[in-house]
Amino acid sequence: MAPSIPHRIGVDENGLGPRLGPLVVTGVLARVTEAGAARAGRAARGNLAERLGDSKALVAHGNVALGEAWARAIAARAGAAPATPGELFATLTHEGLAVLQRPCPRHVSPQCWGEAGEAFETSDAEVATAARDLDRLAGQGIDVRAARTSVTCTERLNLARAAGLSRFDVDLHAMESLVLALAERAGTEVEAICGKVGGYTKYGPAFGPLAGRLHAVEQEHKALSSYRFPGLGVLSFAQDADANDLLVAMASLVGKWVRELLMARIVRFYGARADGTPHAASGYHDPVTSAFVDATLVTRQAREVPDGCFERAAAAPTRKR
């Protein structure tokens, strides 16, 4: 039996709270059967749970090969054959490279977009395993069709903050934009499940791309908030979605790889330390990142890198909704 809503989307964010690097929001679209829709709304089981689940448990800074494997397998399933990480990112980007690079000062652009020295880290065998997983999921009624990622760089986050938007607002608006784009690709109404944004319970007042669009509130609770939009479908925000929804988990893993790729470009742009050893930084609030910020100060000043292109302004207090 075909489901009442034949397409499902899982969306999650990576990099909401760091000091450096972009905010990445990723969505995965699948065509689902009735049984597949129910299966997608549960955590992975058996061997699949070792490769698909909460990205915080399965990958970490410096080791995101699993996220790369899923990204490459999804791209291949969609008919793409990227030969480099940069080409893979180009197949994933929602905004498009030209839009992402447009606000960058020419002399600073390589900080975020320099591809020199990049290479895939995942083995062909790992990608083949992810491809087989996708085939098995398709056999269970979850046919993954596409993955797309939205990137908001540090400069854009800072500009949004100056305009009165919190990083939670930016995160939510990116999720909305991805759902609209993937729903258009699907050509049908969709059921979209997103990870909960901040402490929000009531999302309507904070909507951006969906602001003013007719919708009905289905429920608004701490664990789950859901909204029905005529012509679009159902949009839900679920607590711990990356651990309990297959497509959200997949989106989170792919997004983790994207953020790691872009953060590595920032680190690589500043070369080596004075003693010749390479810099390292996750971008999060940790001692290694703090040391990286301090160690690159002279270089940033010499290269005239604007502070707003390098480090996020302190987050403003956010009111719960």
pLDDT tens per residue, the chain (321 residues)?
345 789 999 999 999 999 999 999 999 999 999 999 999 999 999 999 999 988 888 887 778 999 999 999 999 999 999 999 999 999 999 999 999 999 999 999 999 999 999 999 999 999 999 999 999 999 999 999 999 999 999 999 999 999 999 999 999 999 999 999 999 999 999 999 999 998 789 999 999 999 999 999 999 999 999 999 999 999 999 999 999 999 999 999 999 999 999 999 999 999 878 777 778 899 999 999 999 999 999 999 999 999 999 999 986 544 445
Question: Residue 2 has what pLDDT?
Answer: 42
Question: Residue 317 has what pLDDT?
Answer: 46
Per-residue H/E/C for the chain:
CCCCCCEEEEEEEECCCCCECCEEEEEEEEEECHHHHHHHCCCCCHHHHHCCCCHHHHCECCECHHHHHHHHHHHHHCCCCCCCHHHHHHHHECCCHHHHHCCCCCCCHHHHHCCCCCCCCCCHHHHHHHHHHHHHHHHCCEEEEEEEEEEECHHHHHHHHHCCCCHHHHHHHHHHHHHHHHHHHHCCCEEEEEECCCCCCCCHHHCCCCCCCCCEEEEECCCEEEEEECCCEEEEEECCHHHHCHHHHHHHHHHHHHHHHHHHHHHHHCCECCCCCECCCCCCCCHHHHHHHHHCHHHHHHCCCCHHHHECCCCCCCCCC
Q: Which domains does the chain have, with CATH numbers?
A: 7-265 (3.30.420.10)
pTM over 0.85: yes
